Amino acid sequence: MLASLRPQEWVKNLLVFAGLLFSGQLDQGAEALDATLAFVAFCAISSAGYLLNDLHDREHDRLHPEKRHRPIASGAIAPSTAGTVAAILAAAAVAIGFAVEPAVAGLVALYGVITAAYSLILKTLVIIDVMTIASLFILRVVAGAVAVEAQASEFLLICTAMLALFLGFTKRRQEAMLEQMPAASSASPPGAAVSQAGSSASGSGASSPTTRPVLEHYSLPFLDQMVAMVTAAAIVSYVLYAVDSPQIGSKMLATAPSVLYGIFRYLYLIYDRRDTRSTAAILTEDPGMIFAAVTWVGAALAMLYVFD
C-alpha cells in the first residue's frame, strides 16, 4: 500500500510552502503549522489520486512489462481495498484543509476533482494532459498562500505554471524516447538508455503496450519545440518575478543563478544523458539538482530574512 501511495512524489507538494517562504513568515509558528497541515492535506489527496489512477488503469498496466508489477495491477492489493483507502485519504485531506481554512479545503477538493478527471480522461488528450498537470502545481502554490493569508503574486503563479509545463513536456519527451527504445528500462541509471539505444532501435520483436496512449499524438520534434518554448518562458518569467518580488524587490535576483543552473542541468540529464528516471527521482537524487535546490533555498532565506 505504501508503494501505491507513492510517497516519493510528495516532493512536488513542497510548493505549498512557497507562500510561507516568500511572504517572510517562515519564522511565524502559527503560519508554519498551517502551511505544514496544508502540505499534509495535499500529500493525502495526491496519494488518493495515485490509487484512483492505478485502479482505473489496472487492466492496461497488467499488459505492460514494467507497470504490471504495480501492487494493484499485480493483485497484491485488492481493488476494493485500494478504493476504500483512496476515499479515506480524500476525506482526511479535505478535513485537514478545513482545519486550516475553508478555502484551503476547497482548493484541496478541487485538486482531487482535477486529478480524478485527469486519471479518467484528461491524460488521453494531447497538450491538455500537460496543461492539467501544470494547473495542479498552481493549485499547490495558491493553497499554500491562502493557508498563511499571503498573496501569491501573478508573476509567481506564471513562473510556477511555466516550470510545471517544462517538467511536463520533458517528462513526455522521456516517455516518447522510451517508446522508441523498448529495451531501455525506466529503472536504468543515467546514461544506460544511451548504451541500449543502438540494439533496441533495430529490434523487430512484438511491440509492448504504450506507456501512455497519448504518446501516439506526440512526436519528438514537436516535444522539442514545446520544451524550448517553455524553457525560455520559465526563465524569463522567473527573472521578471525576481526583479520586482513583492517582499524584497530586486534582491531576489540572487536566487536566479540557482534556477538557471537547475533548468540547464535538467535539460542536460534529459537530452545528453537520456535520464529515464521519474521527475521526482531526478529532483531528489541527482547531485546537481540537489545542489540547485539547496543553493536556491539558501539564497532565498538569506535575501528574505538576513539582508532584508
pLDDT in tens, 66-76: 888 889 989 99
Segment 74-114, tens digit of pLDDT? 999 999 999 999 999 999 999 999 999 999 999 999 999 99
Would you state the pLDDT for residue 271?
94
Q: What is the mean pLDDT of the chain?
A: 88
Q: Inter-axis angle of helices 79-100 and 102-120, to 10 degrees?
A: 150
Segment 102-146, tens digit of pLDDT? 999 999 999 999 999 999 999 999 999 999 999 999 999 999 999
Would you state the pLDDT for residue 248?
85
Would you state the pLDDT for residue 189?
47
Segment 185-241, tens digit of pLDDT? 444 444 444 433 333 333 333 444 556 788 888 999 999 999 999 999 999 999 998
The predicted model scores a pTM of: 0.85
Q: Is pLDDT above 70 for 50?
A: yes
Segment 2-49, tens digit of pLDDT? 999 999 999 999 999 999 988 888 888 899 999 999 999 999 999 999
**Domains, the chain, ordered by start:** 1-152 (1.10.357.140), 153-196+214-308 (no CATH)
Confidence label for 182 from pLDDT (cuts 50, 70 and 90): low
Would you state the pLDDT for residue 60?
84
Segment 242-289, tens digit of pLDDT? 998 888 889 999 999 999 999 999 999 999 999 989 999 999 999 999
